[in-house]
Chain A
Amino acid sequence: MLPFVFEWHWDLGHVVFHGGLWYALSILGIGMTYVSVKTYFDVKRGGH
């Protein structure tokens, strides 16, 4: 999966596959980060 594996070589399949995979993972990651950060500020603003 990662380019340092010795039989690695690029082809179209990788582009499609990794494109889809990282697209999905990024959305999940960005979404969760957004929620966490926003929660942090919300709570802070809510005043404790």
Chain B
Amino acid sequence: MKEEHKEGVQGHEGGAHGHGEKYKFGMVIDLDKCTGCGSCMVACMTENNVPYKKNETNKLDSITWMRVFKATNGKPYPDTDICYFPRPCMHCEGEHGHAPCVSVCPATATDYNYETGIVSQIYTRCFGCRYCMAACPYHARYFNWWDPVWPDDTKESLSPDVSPRMRGVVEKCSFCFHRFQGARDKAYAEGRREITENEYQTACTQACPAGAIVFGDLNNPEHKVHELKQSPHAFRLLERLGTNPKVYYHSTRSWVRRAGDNYLTNERSK
């Protein structure tokens, strides 16, 4: 079984329960700034070697770790409004790391890393039962229904930092965990124990041409996300389920904030 952990192992450093929660990485996505352009999706897919098929119009088998959903306010013309919800993996913390997907995985192929707050996925251990997908209300998990195929010479553009996944396993956004590893290794090599905000940024954050995505340590008051998440206009998706996600959204439009969660008919949103 030596080979088995060769690649794709993520996020197990200091993994035991109760160890110091060093970082709590998360995002604040400003929906007032998001233009729905889709650059985050492409940045994510190129960074993480996400494959593509000739026909990707069936969104039910199309792997997009970062997917931009479109919400409408349901009103007729001309009072209609739309808003985009970029949806990476929420890296739910649940209660003490009890993320919806982590506890259900029968083979411990996905794990909540207490050092970073990142939910990992070990592709080489996953045997494709898809229970985690059933557990995730955000549809953030994707199954490799096909063998990945890169046409012509496009294999040349694959990144060695992220191993391409074989058919039959589940994958999802990792908050570009390999970038965290790289930043941490660099910091350690330079004799530092902490990494700075700029050293570790996800590919989508970096690419976003509108600057709508902000990424950082939610626990660190010096990081932008720490302040942004406290805005009265900040909210999270499906917060009421108790998933305790680490991706926050921000919108000044009340209907958008309401669209982020379920409410009873006459219930007031938060």
Contact = CB atoms under 8 A, between A and B. Distances in A.
A42 interface: no
A7 B108 contact: yes
B16 to A, nearest CB: 5
Interface residues of B, number: 7
Nearest to A11: B17
B115 interface: no
Contacts, number: 11
Interface string A2-39: 00011101010000000000000000000000000000
B17 A9 contact: yes
Nearest to B11: A7
Interface centre among A5, A6, A7 (most CB of B within 10 A): A7
- 5 smallest A-B Cβ distances: which pairs? A9-B16, A7-B15, A7-B12, A7-B108, A7-B111
Contacts of A9: 16-17
Interface residues of A, number: 5
Contacts of A5: 108
B18 to A, nearest CB: 10
Nearest to B18: A9
B123 to A, nearest CB: 16
B12 A6 contact: yes
Nearest to B12: A7
A9 B17 CA distance: 9
Contacts of B17: 9, 11
Given A7-B16, A7-B108, 4 more contacts: A5-B108, A7-B15, A7-B111, A9-B17
